[in-house]
Structure 1
Amino acid sequence: MQIAQQSTTIRNMIIASAIILALSLGIRHAFALYLEPMSHHFGWGHQVFSLAIASQNLIWGLAQPFTGALADRYGSRIVVAIGGLLYMIGLAIMAVSSTGILLNLSLGLILGIALSATSFSVLLSAIGRMVVAEKRSMAMGIASAAGSFGQFIMLPSTLMLIQYFGWSAALLVSAVLVALILPLSFWIRSPVIGKQKAFANKADLTLKQILNIARHHRPFWWLSLGFLVCGFQVVFLGIHLPGYLIDHGYDAKTGTIFLALVGLFNVIGTYGAGWLGDRYCKARLLTYLYGLRGVAMILFLLLPLSVYSVYAFGIVMGLLWLSTVPLTNGLVANMFGVKYLSMLSGMVFLTHQIGSFLGGYLGGLNHDLTGDYYYVWLFSILLSGFGVVIHFFVSDHSALPKQE
């Protein structure tokens, strides 16, 4: 009876986490659609909106270890609920943002903090604590995959709202949808430090001891640097590919379909990555993923540009998009256990967001200075090579001392 009840609790938590991720990340990915209309309406260059997006990603990363630590200490439920409330406030202020300062306050600061509380590090860590190690990557992959479906739904829906009602009204509708995160947060269950010991790390070490081990554990830092590559690439493509296509004579619909295809096939990619991560070396899988990203970008730039090449690129990148997330979080759990998983995953995610900041900002800067994205495309491809090499120095083995 107790086992059946626990299985139901885990299933409900995975479903709730998936819906929260679908709302949080689906709306966040749709921010790319606001670049052109807001920049045109207020006479901004691409750099103004790009800076706000870049700031959001940096603040998201800087806040992540702290929101993760709060989730470890007080439980994920309260952190997710507060994050949902901040998300609503941020979208409402963005809807009336007429200056770069207001845009950075709403889209940058408030939404950056909100995303740190309603995205992967907090929710996947909660799932990781409740699921046995043998099924952990798979459970994380299911939540990530289902959450990715939100990108597929929200992008065309947001484009339709912008076209028929304007960008400000579209943001207000998004704020109403985000309100669903508050009731969904009550389904999130996660053991709290000091109240349960079932999820303690293998050596039951203190936070200070774990941080000291992490500080000297080189594979942890190689993994973090590899995640920087992921952040740079997904934000550069997610924010600037629609603008790249507009520069080449395509309308906003083409870029939206590209991003929707990324979201749809990301469902398959993240689910598949979670399944493979329970069966093969996660670090080697990450090596293949980054290598394939680089090959896909090279082929996209070399082949003649057409709607077919754009959509094919969207399908391929969707399979590789967030497949890194369950594998990376699974590696952190393997290295240090699950007791402080939210905070440690947040530390790794910080480097992802530093890459996101650079991908978002440098894309806009490159475009404003040269009128194209050539140098950022080149740098993104070079980063794929770096991602391949760096993960040869990462292993799946535990970093904790063996118990006597």
Structure 2
Amino acid sequence: MKLRIKITKSAKQTASAERVSSLDDLLLEILLRLPIRSLIRFKCVSKRWLSLITNPRFSILRNPNPNPAVGLFLRCQVFGTKPDYDYIHLGTHSHTNPPFKKLRFTYEPSGIYILQSCNGLLLCRSFLASQSKRKYYVYNPTTKHFSTLPKTCLVTKTSNAVHEMSPAFNPRQSALYKVVCVSKIIRGMSLAFDPASSPHYKVVCIRDSESARDHYEIEVFPSETGHWRAVGDPFLSNVCFRNSVYWNGTIHWISTWEFTILSFNVYQETRGTMPAPAPPPREGGRVGYFGESCGHLHLVAVYEPPGDRFDVHEMKSDCSEWFVKYRVDAKQVFAALPEMRSDWDDFYAFSIFCLVRGKTGQDNDSFLVLQTPGKAIRFNLVDGSFDKICDLEDSQEHGSLRNLEHAFQYVESLCCV
């Protein structure tokens, strides 16, 4: 009588698994098809798996085209406390869990505040700290990794005076250095990151000029060098440097009432201006939104009163001119939401949190995230359909809206910082 022990199949499976794990190309093909949450866990399997998943080439192979946002971080408007953030899931099918409620990746007495979202990375700073004690961070909310930026300082040859230097400065070098007088007043910090072009990021600092009154100066921090340096001459501008948009190798700042756009190319390190869209066809036009999604730059011009009609402009890839991508008539949407109508004038109470493009070749999935009193609405730009995403619980007063400067897109990313 023969006994049959079911070991052969298991042994074959083990041998097959070992064979797969020993072939980098085959293992890579399997890992590329896994969801991002699984990949984060699998980085702990072995040093080899960690090396494959964290390689910059892996991210490009997995996502050769820019990813659309899957969520939105909204800062709760509770003043005088450490910043809290609500998370809005933007998808219609699979749900992504909130990556965080408070930013606690490092200790900050007053909390951590988001300045900008750029292709999966967040630029953050100390919340209530004074300028001299303020710290800046680049944080990946998907992987929970972060880096701390060194303090800015301009250094030139000619003297042996030594002051607060960046880590790249070597005082043992034979050359003589001096520290240039730098204003402590920072007007804006901007993040430039495109994983399809480079695994490295750059941070651009705009500060008051000490050498020219009412002028500004630019400093650039490339992550691959690890130190700040001055770029260009002092300049004048009327844009707001608190909010910036990175697109096509260039950081853009806009004056929302004058349709003025200032640009800084982070690779050529040159300043310029971007052509504004054609003047609105009637008076009362303003910029309702300026942002990037999936490699496209958009500007939404809202016409008032009453504000229920707006054009979505898109910039051509060669940066030559804007064209109207969508013409939106939102009367039907606003009629279904009577709480948007103001009791004392003819305006609608709404704002645009963000515009999210569908993946390459899927324009039908492009939509706006509209903020109305107490609600976030998803509005399809192609067919005009809409539905409520969620309630905004801290909008207690009728007609109250959250500050658009406190809304940041969440793009899942495995990129290292």
TM-score (norm 1): 0.23
Higher RCO (C-alpha under 8 Å, 6+ residues apart): 1
Q: Taking structure 2 as the reference length, what is the TM-score of the superposition? A: 0.22
